[in-house]
Amino acid sequence: MMFFFGLIMFLCLVPTTWIYFFQIYPAKWKEKKLVFGVKNRSEFQEGETAQQVEALVKKHHTQALGIAIVVTILSALFLLLKGVTVQTAIWTIFIMIALVALVVPYYFGNKEMKALKRSLGIKSEAGVTYTDLSNASAVHALRPANVCIPTLLSFGVVIFALLVDFKVIPFGNNWFVGVFMLTGMAAMFFAIAVLVCVLAVILDRVKNEVVSADSAINANYNRAKKKNMADMFVIFLWVNFVFMVLWMVSFYFITEELLVMIALAVYMILLLSAVALFVVREKKIEARYEKEMTMLEDDDDLWIAGMIYCNPNDKRLNVEKRVGVGGTINLAHPMGKLIYVFAALAIVATIVAVVFLGMMESTPLKVYVKDGKVICHQLWDEYVIDVNDIQEFSQGDKLSELHMARIAGVGMPNMLKGKFFVEEESGCSVFLWRANENYIMIRTADRAYYFNSTSEDETLEAARSIESALSSR
C-alpha cells in the first residue's frame, strides 16, 4: 500500500517536472517569443549580443536539466521509503522544494535578460497594450455542451451513489452501502469536474493576444490556442467521468484499498497524458505562427521574475501566463492579493498538517479509567465515556481479524481512529493501535467503541478497571 502511495506521488511529480522543464527552458531560443520572460527582440539576435544570450540560455538550461534529473532520481529513491507519515512528510516537502528549485534558473535568467536589455538601452513600453478591435472578444473555442455534458453525467453518478446509500437502488449486500462512502467519493470527483469546467470557461475568455497587425492572423492564432486548451479540459472531464463510473462498478466486486491506489495511479497517468498532448500541440501552434508574430506587448517590467503578473492599471484578475500554459492571477488586483495570501496560508497549513500527522503517528495511545470515566487519550482526550452509560462490555485478542473499514477519520499502518464500519455495523468509534491484538469493545445507547492502548499490559489493565467499575455500579 505504501509503495502505491509513493508511486502516485512519483507519477504526479516526475512527469510534471519534465513537462514544465521542456515548456519553460526551450533549447532553440531564437524561435521563441520570450527569453526567460523577456520579449525576444531583434537586438538579441545580432552579433555579440546573440552570443551573450546563447551562453545565458545554455547555462540556465543546463542548470534546470540537472535539477530535473536530480528530482527524478530522488523521486525514484523515495519509492523505497517506509512508513506512511514519513512518506507523506518527505513527499510533501520535496514536491515544494522541487517545484521551487526548477524555477530558480528561470528567475536568474529573467534577471540577467533584463540587465542585458537595459545595457542595450532598450526601454520597456510600460502601459502600452495592443488590442485587435476586430477580435477584441469574439474569439472563443469552447463549446459549452462539450464541458456541460460530462459534468452533468458526473453529477448523475453522485445522484446514483446517493440513491445507493439510501438503499433506493439495490447494490448488493456490500458493507459500504448506507455509510455514504460512495457518495463522498463521487462528490469529490464531481467537485473536480466543476472546478475544471469553471477553469475552462474562464481561460476561454481571457484577452486575445495580439501577435500581428493582421486581424485574421490574430483570430486564427488565438482560436488555435483556445481550442487546444478547451480540448484538454474536455479530455479531463471525460476521464474524470469514466473513472467515476468504473470505480463505482469496481466497488460492487472488490473493496480492497489496493484497488483504490492502482485506480488513482491510472487516473493520474491519463490526466498527465492529456497535459503532455496539450503541450505538444501548443508547441506546434507556436512554431506555426512564429514568423507572423510581429507585434508583441513589451510589458517585461510588469512580470516579477517573468512569471508573476503585477499591473495595478490592469483591471483583469486573470491573464494568460507568460511562461507555461493556462492563466495566472494579477497580483496587483485586490482579489489577486487575497488569492496569493490564501495560497501562502494553504502551504503553511499543509506543512502544519504533515507535522501533526508525524506527532500523531509517534504518540502512543493510552486507555485508562479515572473518576468513573473511560478515557481514550492521544495528544488530547479523544473519547470520554461515563461508566454508567456502558450497556455492553467485551474483550478480544485478535484485532487483525476484525472486519473494519474507515468512514471518516485516520487510517495509518500503525493505528486507526475515527468513525469506522466494524463487523457489519456502521458508525463505530475506533481508537486502536494495530500492533496490539488485544482490544476492548463497549457499547452505549448511541454507539459501539473499539479501543486499546499501544501497550498490551495497559489494555488489559484498562479492561480490568472497566470490569471493576461496572461491578460496583
Return the pLDDT at 275. 82
pLDDT in tens, 142-194: 888 999 999 999 999 999 988 888 888 877 666 666 667 778 888 888 998 99
Q: Where are the beta strands (DSSP E) in 206-351?
A: 303-304, 308-309, 318-320, 327-329
pLDDT in tens, 272-293: 888 888 888 887 887 787 767 6
β-partners of residue 320 are 327
- Ranking 80-94, 118-132, 278-292, 384-398 by mean pLDDT, the lowest is 118-132
Does residue 325 have a pLDDT over 70?
no
Q: What is the mean pLDDT of the chain?
A: 84
Does residue 370 sit in helix, strand or coil? strand
pTM (predicted TM-score): 0.66
Q: Quick one: residue 316, left, alpha or beta (phi over 0 = left, psi -120 to 50 = alpha)?
A: beta
β-partners of residue 173 are 171
Return the pLDDT at 138. 63
Does residue 429 have a pLDDT over 80?
yes
pLDDT in tens, 96-143: 899 899 999 999 999 999 999 888 887 765 555 555 546 555 678 888
DSSP 208: P
Return the pLDDT at 67. 96
Return the pLDDT at 268. 78
Are 23 and 324 a contacting pair, CB within 8 Å? Answer: yes
Return the pLDDT at 258. 58
* Residue 282 cell numbers, joined: 501548443
**Sole residue written with cell 481561460:** 203
Domains of the chain, CATH where assigned: 364-471 (2.30.29)
